Amino acid sequence: MKKNSDDDKDLFRQIMSDVAPLPQDKVAPPMKAVKPVPRQRHLDDMQVLDDMLVHPLDAAEFETGEELVYLKPGVQHGVLRKLRRGQYSIDAELDLHGFTAMEARQEVSAFLRECRYQGIHCARIIHGKGYGSKDKQPVLKHKVNSWLRQHDHVLAFSSARTFDGGTGAVYVLLKRQS
């Protein structure tokens, strides 16, 4: 095998014997130093982004201080998390706009009784944000918060998601009938 490569070299030299090299009057430009690429740092950053996407951020997880949140002692925290995310089907709704506090209390009481009677597990009560009240402060919101906490059949409640009324409404989870 070595003999063939020597023959090839001799043949090449013989063919190229009358070829003259071209004159070279240019100087090769110096090579620019290439900055090192921090590959591992890039991979780590990408891993962090991937990890963040595994558990996307949920607006229901953030509190602004205006939310109503209640969980009856003994009820699992996962129930409240699902309620805050709107993962229960809302089967009934009560809108308290325009009611006085006394009228609203009667309406809430009657509504919860009717929900219990009909076997409704999750309902929404719209109490408003208080923009129409005398001091532009929520009146019914605080009252509903108190009334629901006192009701035996209420397991949990939380302010609704933005498109369901936000802090102007609550999701209410009721005990199932035994």
Where does 16-76 have alpha helices with state H?
39-54
Going from N- to C-terminal start, the domains of the chain cover 67-174
**pTM score:** 0.62
Q: What is the pLDDT of residues 75-126, one digit of tens each?
A: 899 999 999 998 999 999 999 998 999 999 999 999 999 999 999 999 999 9
The owner of tokens 């009701």 is: 151
Q: What CATH architecture does domain 67-174 belong to?
A: 2-Layer Sandwich (3.30)
72 pLDDT above the threshold of 60:
yes
| Pairwise pLDDT comparison (81 vs 34), residue with the higher score | 81
> CA geometry: angle at 118 spanning 169 and 113, to 5°?
60
> Is 116:102 a contact under the CB 8 Å cutoff?
no
Query: Residue 47: which pLDDT band, with cuts at 50, 70 and 90?
Result: confident
Q: What is the pLDDT of residue 55?
A: 57
Are residues 111 and 170 in contact, defined by beta-carbon separation less than 8 angstroms? no
- What does the block give as tokens for 26? 């240019």
Q: Judge contact between 69 and 84, C-beta under 8 A.
A: yes
Distance in angstroms between the alpha carbons of the first and the last residue of the chain: 93
